A and B are shown apart, each in its own frame.
Chain A
Amino acid sequence: MTRFGRWLAGHVVLVVGLLVLLYLCVPVLVVILMSFNDPASRNSYTFDGFTLDNWLNICDPYQLCSSVSLSLRIGLLATLAATVLGTLMAFAMVRHRFRGRSAANLLVFLPMATPEIVMGSSLLALFVNAGFAAQLGFWTILVAHVLFCLSFVVVTVKARLAGLDPALEQAAADLYANEWQTFWRVSFPLVFPGILAAALLSFSLSFDDFIITNLNAGQEVTFPMFVWGAAQRGIPPQINVIGTIMFVLALTAVLLGELGSRRRAARR
């Protein structure tokens, strides 16, 4: 009985876990389903009929595609800047001695512990007080996005770097490599998976952000802001097409990465 009880207990946890996983994944399935919806009216968010029209006319809703393009541009630039700045900081924090280490740790940690609404409002307070109230737009969004991505990059790259043996770099130095060569030939390739993960995380944080962006965007409209506006007026099914495309692209990237790392592991 106890053995059977334990077996059952084990599988109950697994079944509950799978149900929770279902709760996490059902909304994504709804997004995919709704991308084929043929809505009866603007205000109803029910599945009224199957159509391919949304996929064929993605850019029909006014401003939808321009908002996606803005989010892509901001996402790419913010990812680039945050990844470079954050990787440098992570290297300093793991591989170098400096004074004020705890202050630096705190400075990196605090933005992650601040609610978005507070971070967004303080940035807005800064921009307005500095006289940039009329210039809110592309550059203020970019500044904000680099800020909230930066901490996540530092933490991700630090975790990867902390797992690497510094002896590898010392060995390179013993073999007469200078700091530059050591970095590009030894450290960078080893840390690269961490940097890549940090960049992907940054991009998805940036592409997804609404609360901070909405406060600092001025007249610009990013994709999440478009969705927000649409939710007040009637939701065009095309936003679900964009959601589905993003999902498929990201899933493909993750699965390819997984496949690549398995192949590399097999070769070793």
Chain B
Amino acid sequence: MTAAAHLPGAETPDGPEIQPRGARRGLTGYVLLLPGGLWLALFFVVPTVVLVATSLYDPSGSLQLGYRMTGHWQNYVDAVRDYSDQILRSLLYALAATGAAILLGYPLAYAIAFKAGRWKNLMLVAVIAPFFTSFLVRTLSWQYLLGDNELIVSALQWLNVLGEGGRLMNTPFAVVTGLTYNFLPFMVLPLYASLEKIDHRLVEAAADLYASPATAFRLVTLRLSMPGLVAGSLLTFIPSAGDYINAQLLGSPNTRMVGNEIQALFGAGDYPTASALSVALMVTIVTMVAIYVRRAGTEDLL
């Protein structure tokens, strides 16, 4: 888990640990930490180990007959070979949703931080308002919005953007729209938090030094908002890559994502392959996140 060490919440592993100001010595700290820590160890760390172990079971076993632990690495080869389309599609959709969330979320976060004035709190409530109702019920309403004879499709057909009989529902576009919609607040909130902290005098100073508004934005605002942008991208990309609700409710058999397959394999009782696919997904995500965080140069900012 080298990537995780660079993410927020993790502190430098080497060197003496920095204890917070006013921290008290004694046993109380350990006692307070114990119940929650045990819960996390027992139901997060142990299951992760069990998942990896299960991914190496002999696939000829079954739930009724039991499995034998045979170090069956072939499970990974089979899982990645059989489901490479779904894995690639998941990563592609998640990347598209993250890109769309940046394009939509940045102006919104910027507007809330700098332009909203006394409407700031109201706009923030509107950003989290979708959370007040169920994820699945909201996703279903996209079935209506993107439906064949509804406003959006009719308008696009009238504009000749969509051909006669063209559809939006059950297309990759619908799935990415749903993913973007569902995870957009996770992009907007961290972006807003880091934009709001920016001292506006820095942007003015850039203007005084003859930077055009675009240059000032690129060199000052954008750079200072990088921690929010990186955090928001991770909070959008990671859940999108594992999601299968949008693919199922808004997509078609041709838009199945890796989550659909993992769920289906567990449902069919093929635990070794399902576990191997799940571990493969996790490893892929961690690798991509590590590269991204390094490229963005935000290791020390986070």
Contact = CB atoms under 8 A, between A and B. Distances in A.
B154 to A, nearest CB: 12
Given A21-B127, A117-B281, A239-B137, A101 B185 contact: no
| Range for the number of chain A residues in contact with chain B | 35 or more
A118 B9 contact: no
A146 B43 CA distance: 10
B130 A95 contact: no
A14 B120 CA distance: 12
Interface residues of B, number: 104
B2 to A, nearest CB: 11
B256 to A, nearest CB: 13
A135 interface: no
B245 A85 contact: no
B37 to A, nearest CB: 7
Contacts of B30: 92, 98
A213 to B, nearest CB: 11
A147 interface: yes
B145 interface: yes
B159 interface: no
Interface in A76-125: 85-86, 88-89, 91-99, 101-102, 104-111, 113-119, 121-125
Contacts of B108: 16-17, 20-21
Interface string A29-73: 011001000000000011100000000000000000000000000
Interface of A: 6, 9-11, 13-14, 16-18, 20-21, 23-28, 30-31, 34, 45-47, 85-86, 88-89, 91-99, 101-102, 104-111, 113-119, 121-126, 128-129, 133, 143-144, 146-147, 150-151, 154-155, 162, 166-167, 169-170, 179, 204, 207-208, 210-211, 214-215, 223-224, 227-228, 231, 235, 239-240, 242-244, 246-247, 249-251, 254-255, 258
Given A46-B144, A110-B44, 11 more contacts: A18-B111, A92-B32, A96-B26, A96-B29, A105-B11, A115-B239, A115-B242, A115-B259, A117-B259, A144-B43, A208-B134
